[in-house]
Structure 1
Amino acid sequence: GEFLREHGYSRHLLAGLKRTPEAICRNGIWTRTGVPLKAGDRLDVLLPEEKPSEKIEPVPLPFTVVYEDEDILVADKPADMPVHPSPGNYGNTLANAAAAHARERGEACVFRCINRLDRDTTGLLVLAKHALSAAVLSDAMKRRAIRRTYLAVVQGRPEPEDGQIDAPIGRVPGSCLQRQVDFLRGERAVTHYRTLSADSLYSLVELHLDTGRTHQIRVHM
C-alpha cells in the first residue's frame, strides 16, 4: 500500500482495489496491498471499469482538444461555456462536449475536471480520464505543483505595476453568485500580478493565484 500511495494512488482508490478480486498482481500472482515488495518485483494494477457519468448528456459542441493521451485530455474552453451542467443549462457545457468526444472515440466518460474556469473565462482545462490520473493530478493541485498563468485586461493602470493582493473574498449578502472583498467573513485569497502593457484606459496583466476563490481575479482586479 505504501508503494502505491507514493506513486499517486489515493486512499479512496486503494480501498476500491482492495475490494476488487485480482486487481493487484505481483509477478503474475494476485496479492494484497500489505505484502512487501522486493527489488525486481513486477507489480500490475488493474483499475476497475467505471460507469459513465449518466447525468451528463453527450452533446457535440465545438471545443479544441490541445492534448490527449490515455491518461488526460487538455481542452481549450471557449468563453460563455460553463464547465458543469446546472439547473437551466444541462446541455451547453464543457462536460457535455467532453462526453460527446469520448463517445466518438468509443470511450466511457467519467467527467473529472482537475482545474476550474468561470463561464466567461477562456483557457485550458485538464480532464483526468481515469481514477489514477485524477488522484495524481488532484494531489499535484493541492501541493501547488501545477502552475497556472492567467491573462486579464483591466481598467486603469495598477499601482504598483507588479505586486500581490492579499484580501479575503466572501459572498455579497443576498446573492448566490456575486463576490466581494470581505475582511470579516471572507476566505483568504492571494493574487500575484504583473503589468505587461498599459495605455491611458486599460492594462494587460499576468496573474498567478495562490488560492482559487470564485471570481477571485474579478474581485481583486
Structure 2
Amino acid sequence: MSDAVRLVLDVSEREHGERLDRLIAARVTGVSRSFAQTLMKSGDVLVNGQPAKPAHRVRAGDQIVVMLPPVEPPEELEPVYLPIPVLYEDEDIIVFDKPAGVVTHPAPGHEQDTLVNALKAIRPDLRLRPSDRPGIVHRLDKDTSGLIVVAKHEDARLSLLKQWQGRSVVKRYLALVHGVVEPDEGTVDAPISRDPRDRKRMAVVPGGRPAVTHFRVRERFRCATLLELTLVTGRTHQIRVHMAFIGHPVVGDEVYGRRGFVVPVPRQFLHATYLKFMLPSTGKAIELETPLPHDLQEVLDGLRAREDRTLSGAGTGPR
C-alpha cells in the first residue's frame, strides 16, 4: 500500500481572498473542487493548522496542508461509459471529441471517470493499465473541450509521438479572450516554464522552454475577442499562459484569467477545434474539425445579443 501524500501550499498575494476549494483545485493537479471539499469534510485540509470549510477565504501568507489518500491502481482499468463522441477510428487510433470536465487519464481525485476509462468501456479488447497512460500522446486540460487522439497500440503511439515531437501536426484552437485584440493576426514567441513563485502554475520565464503561438482574430466584441490559435509547440497551459502574458487572458480561466464577465461563462472558453496529422499505418494525411460545443456557443450568442441591444439603445448603426 502506498503512503498518503502530504502537500504544503503557501498562499500568494495574487490568491488573497480566493475560496479554499477553488484554490486547491487550481493548485493541485488532478484534484477537482468536489474532491477538495470531500478532503475538507474528512479533516484532511488544514489552514494554518486548523480545519477549514470550502468557502473559507484564504489570506496571503496562509499555509495550507492537503493530505491526499493513497491510491493503489487496479491491475486493469475499470470501464466507465461516458458521453464522449468518437469522430474517427481505425485499427491504429481513435479520435474523441472530449467534453469539458473530463480528465484525460486517472489521477488523484479522478481515478475512474476519465477518457481512458471510457476507452476501456467501448473497446474492452484493448489491454489498458492505469500506470501506463495508455496511448496518450497529447493532452487537453480538464476544462478544455475538443479533439484528442489516442493510440490503440504501441507502434501507433510511437508514430504519433514522432509527429507531435517533430511539430508536423497542425493544432488549432478557438478561444475567447478578454479585451479587444488590435492586430488581425500575430505571434506570441515567449518561453514557458514553471512559475518560480508558484510551482503549480506555468509562466513566461526567461530561459524556459521555447513556446510559439500564432493567433488570428475571428470576431471582435466591445469587451472580448474570439481568436483562432495555432500551436507550434505544445507546452503545458501554453495558450492560457501566452494570452495572459499579452494582456488578453482566456475568458473563464480561473488560474490565469480575470474574475467576472459580462455574460455567464460555464468554464474556460478554450476548444481544440482542428487537427491535421499523418495516419500511422498509411502515412496519409487526415484533417478533423469539430465546432464549438453548445455551452461555449451560448456564450458567443449572449455576447452578440448584448451588443445588438447596446447598439440599438445607442441609436447607432451596425459596426
Normalising by the residue count of structure 1, what TM-score does the alignment of the two structures yield? 0.69
Percentage identity across paired residues of the two chains: 46
Q: Distance in 2 between matches of 1:207 and 1:74?
A: 20
Find out whether 1:187 has 2:209 as its counterpart: yes
CA contact (8 A) 1:80 1:120 kept: yes
Matching residue of 1:69: 90
TM superposition shift of 1:174:
5.1
Q: One-letter code of the match for 2:127?
A: A
- Closer/same/farther in 2, CA of residues 175 and 93 from structure 1, 3 Å limit: farther
SS at match of 1:148: strand
TM superposition shift of 1:55:
5.2
TM superposition shift of 1:186:
2.3
Q: Distance in 1 between matches of 2:198 and 2:79?
A: 31
Show CA shifts across 1:60-82 (max 9, x none): 12211111111110011111111
Higher helix content, 1 or 2: 2
CA contact (8 A) 2:93 2:156 kept: yes
Q: Distance in 1 between matches of 2:160 and 2:99?
A: 22
CA contact (8 A) 1:56 1:85 kept: no
Q: How many residues align?
A: 166
Q: Distance in 2 between matches of 1:55 and 1:205?
A: 41
Choose which of 179, 182, 189 in structure 2 pairs with 1:156: 179
Matching residue of 1:58: 79
Show CA shifts across 1:94-147 (max 9, x none): 1111111112xx443462022221111001111111122112221122222221
Find out whether 1:214 has 2:233 as its counterpart: no
CA contact (8 A) 1:102 1:108 kept: no
Q: Distance in 2 between matches of 1:54 and 1:150?
A: 36
Matching residue of 1:79: 100
Choose which of 126, 136, 155 in structure 2 pairs with 1:113: 136
Q: Distance in 2 between matches of 1:159 and 1:192?
A: 14
- Closer/same/farther in 2, CA of residues 174 and 102 from structure 1, 3 Å limit: farther
TM superposition shift of 1:159:
3.1
TM superposition shift of 1:157:
1.7
Q: Distance in 1 between matches of 2:192 and 2:126?
A: 40
Q: Distance in 1 between matches of 2:174 and 2:154?
A: 31
Normalising by the residue count of structure 2, what TM-score does the alignment of the two structures yield? 0.49
Q: One-letter code of the match for 1:180?
A: A
Q: Distance in 2 between matches of 1:140 and 1:83?
A: 20
Show CA shifts across 1:171-215 (max 9, x none): 2235343112112x4222111000111111111101111111111
- Larger displacement relative to structure 2 (110-119 or 124-133): 110-119
Find out whether 1:88 has 2:109 as its counterpart: yes
Choose which of 152, 158, 168 in structure 2 pairs with 1:135: 158
User: What is the Cα-based RMSD across aligned positions, in Å?
Assistant: 1.8
CA contact (8 A) 1:76 1:124 kept: yes
Find out whether 1:99 has 2:120 as its counterpart: yes
Q: Distance in 2 between matches of 1:175 and 1:117?
A: 21
- Larger displacement relative to structure 2 (144-153 or 169-178): 169-178
CA contact (8 A) 2:215 2:230 kept: yes
- In the TM superposition, 1:37-56 aligns within 5 A as 54=75, 56=77
Unaligned runs of 5+ in 1: 1-52
